[in-house]
């Protein structure tokens, strides 16, 4: 992890105070939370709407921090402890991360997209771990604060960092790309998330394409080639090395054969004739994510056998196409981490295609951040559900009820159930389940649909 003396930090930042008496103090790692301070950390305080982190600086040092940053606009910085006064602690954090990234003998892979970026991050990291010392974004540390913290936590012997890049508006991905200076970048797809902030799918594509702003001049840019908005956007960019993945044969690589069972997906790919890859994850969309990972693996010199090993041993971040068992023996697909129309359609298609179950149940909740057309998006999802392949539909939330409204255009009333309350949903669902069902849970993160799953497992 990041390790410097105060004297060294003062050469990296535009420091506004005299810290010569603390020159030899050593900082190890960075924290923004006094509850998670580790020995010798640099504490970074932020001024929030309700709480000012500067009031916790002394507490952070008492808890083991070696030093803290301090916003020059905040009066009365303490002088008896190592407080580094800067113009803006956030900008200082980002600058330290950028400089530390360049100190390391390190390759960076940046990943963004409307859906699938966390899964693709896990896939890329697992593939490259076969050959390199790899570290990746943990949890949701994928924004203007989380990404710098991830970089500053990298061990000094790291060979590859796989960094997820999230955003809600224009300019955010560009900032993350400039901080991390990726050697390879991926856009998984363009969906509908953040329509309320970006206005259109064209706006989303433009914002995601910011990932190339910091891409090394010889870096690889890989994107979902079946998306016309990305195809058009790339035409105006001066990029030396561009490759695509997707279903169509116009892509650099594409699947030539796909078979799925309840253990995962088997597929062959255009670049390796006669070779079968196994991905222990459900869904054709995840095969596309695997193909994105394979493009990166090829750039980093992995053999086909090493790729097979990296895919086969994959373990995803929780609540992403995670297969678990309920207390009655039912098979549950927990895909409750997030949702958009694109990912919702893909998950429903997956459940529709899986064989071996007489009863398939969908439990679907609100999809958030879709802007003015949110009700129409939800109703469309409901209309797309095939009553020949799905036996029961349960929904949660006000927008979720619009899914139910759409489903009722094709389903009889006794097969569609809408709820506003998780306890009632859990109770009704539990009484319905006998143990031989396949049940999909899918909703946006804010709905916390996993709480219903826990009710079925208890």
Residue at 215 is within a domain: yes
Token pair belonging to 100? 């530390």
Q: Given CA atoms 174, 175, 176, 179 in this order, what sign does their dihedral have? A: positive
**Quick one: how far is CA 392 from the chain centroid?**
30
pLDDT (tens digit, 9 = 90+) per residue, 174-200? 999 999 999 999 999 997 765 666 668
In this prediction, residues 225-229 reach a mean pLDDT of 95
Whole-angstrom distance, CA of residue 5 vs CA of residue 66: 10
Residues 220 and 124 in one domain: yes
Length of the chain: 458
Host domain of residue 231: 104-312
278 has pLDDT over 70 = yes
Instruction: Tell the residue number behind the tokens 């208890």, with chain if given.
Output: 458
Mean pLDDT of the chain: 93
**Quick one: how far is CA 72 from the chain centroid?**
34
4 has pLDDT over 70 = yes
Whole-angstrom distance, CA of residue 338 vs CA of residue 445: 5
Residues 306 and 328 in one domain: no
Task: Say if strands 416-419 and 241-245 run parallel, antiparallel, or are unpaired.
Answer: unpaired
DSSP assignment of 10-37 equals HHHS---S--GGGTT-EEESEES-GGG-
Whether residue 443 contacts residue 362, with contact meaning beta carbons closer than 8 Å, is answered with: no
Task: Give the domain-ending residue among 281, 312, 343.
Answer: 312
445 has pLDDT over 70 = yes
In this prediction, residues 24-50 reach a mean pLDDT of 94
β-sheet with 67-71: strand ranges across: 30-31, 42-43, 67-71, 83-86
Residue at 99 is within a domain: no
Residues 127 and 45 in one domain: no
The conformation of residue 63, written as its DSSP 8-state character, comes to: T
* CA angle, residues 120, 123, 126, in degrees to nearest 5: 150
Residue at 376 is within a domain: yes
Split into its structural domains, the chain has a count of 3
Whether residue 441 contacts residue 335, with contact meaning beta carbons closer than 8 Å, is answered with: yes
Residue at 317 is within a domain: no
So what's the pLDDT on residue 194? Answer: 58
Return the CATH number at 388.
Answer: 3.90.190.20
Residues 255 and 150 in one domain: yes
Residues 347 and 306 in one domain: no
Residues 157 and 58 in one domain: no
Whether residue 110 contacts residue 125, with contact meaning beta carbons closer than 8 Å, is answered with: no
Task: Give the domain-ending residue among 61, 88, 115.
Answer: 88
So what's the pLDDT on residue 13? Answer: 97
pLDDT (tens digit, 9 = 90+) per residue, 105-163? 999 999 999 888 989 999 999 999 999 999 999 888 899 999 999 999 999 999 999 99
450 has pLDDT over 70 = yes
So what's the pLDDT on residue 323? Answer: 82
Whole-angstrom distance, CA of residue 183 vs CA of residue 110: 8
Which DSSP helix (H) or strand (E) runs through 61? helix 57-62
pLDDT (tens digit, 9 = 90+) per residue, 286-311? 999 999 999 999 999 999 999 999 99
Return the CATH number at 37.
Answer: 3.40.1390.10
pLDDT (tens digit, 9 = 90+) per residue, 68-88? 999 999 999 999 999 999 999
Banded pLDDT at 339 (limits 50, 70, 90): confident
So what's the pLDDT on residue 409? Answer: 96
457 has pLDDT over 90 = no
The conformation of residue 52, written as its DSSP 8-state character, comes to: B
So what's the pLDDT on residue 417? Answer: 97
């Amino acid at each position: 992890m990041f390790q410097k003396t105060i004297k060294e930090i003062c050469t990296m930042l535009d420091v506004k105070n005299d810290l010569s008496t603390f020159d030899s103090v050593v900082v190890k790692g960075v924290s923004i939370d006094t509850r998670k301070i580790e020995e010798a950390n640099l504490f970074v305080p932020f001024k929030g709407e309700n709480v000012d982190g500067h009031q916790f600086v002394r507490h952070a040092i008492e808890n083991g921090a070696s030093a803290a940053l301090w916003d020059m606009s905040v009066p009365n910085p303490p002088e008896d402890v190592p407080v580094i006064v800067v113009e803006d602690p956030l900008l200082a954090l980002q600058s330290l991360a950028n400089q530390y990234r360049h100190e390391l003998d390190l390759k960076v892979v940046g990943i963004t997209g409307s859906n699938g970026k966390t899964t693709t991050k896990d896939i890329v990291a697992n593939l490259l771990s076969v050959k390199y010392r790899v570290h990746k974004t943990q949890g949701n540390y994928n924004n203007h604060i989380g990404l710098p913290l991830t970089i500053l936590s990298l061990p000094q012997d790291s060979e590859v960092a796989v960094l997820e890049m999230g955003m809600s508006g224009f300019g955010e991905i560009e900032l993350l790309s400039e901080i991390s200076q990726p050697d390879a970048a991926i856009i998984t797809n363009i969906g509908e998330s953040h329509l309320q902030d970006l206005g259109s799918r064209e706006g989303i594509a433009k914002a995601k394409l910011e990932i190339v702003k910091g891409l090394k001049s010889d870096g690889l840019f890989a994107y979902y080639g079946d998306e016309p908005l990305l195809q058009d956007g790339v035409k105006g960019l001066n990029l030396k090395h561009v490759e695509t993945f997707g279903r169509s044969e116009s892509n650099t690589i594409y699947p030539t054969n796909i078979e799925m069972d309840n253990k995962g997906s088997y597929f062959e790919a255009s670049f390796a004739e006669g070779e079968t890859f196994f991905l222990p994850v459900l869904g054709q969309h995840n095969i596309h994510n695997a193909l994105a990972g394979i493009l990166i693996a090829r750039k980093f010199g992995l053999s086909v056998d090493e790729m097979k090993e990296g895919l086969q041993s994959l373990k995803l971040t929780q609540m992403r196409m995670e297969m678990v068992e309920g207390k009655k023996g039912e098979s549950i697909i927990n895909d409750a981490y997030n949702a958009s129309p694109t990912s919702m359609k893909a998950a429903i298609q997956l459940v529709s295609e899986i064989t071996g179950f007489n009863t398939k149940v969908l439990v679907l909740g609100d999809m958030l951040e879709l802007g003015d057309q949110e009700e129409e998006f939800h109703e469309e999802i409901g209309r797309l559900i095939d009553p020949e392949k799905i036996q029961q539909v349960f929904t949660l939330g006000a927008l979720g009820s619009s899914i139910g409204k759409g489903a009722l255009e094709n389903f009889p009333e006794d097969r569609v159930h809408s709820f506003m309350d998780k306890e009632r949903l859990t109770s009704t669902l539990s009484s319905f389940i006998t143990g031989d069902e396949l049940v999909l849970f899918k909703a946006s993160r804010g709905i916390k649909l996993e709480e219903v799953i826990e009710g079925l497992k208890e």
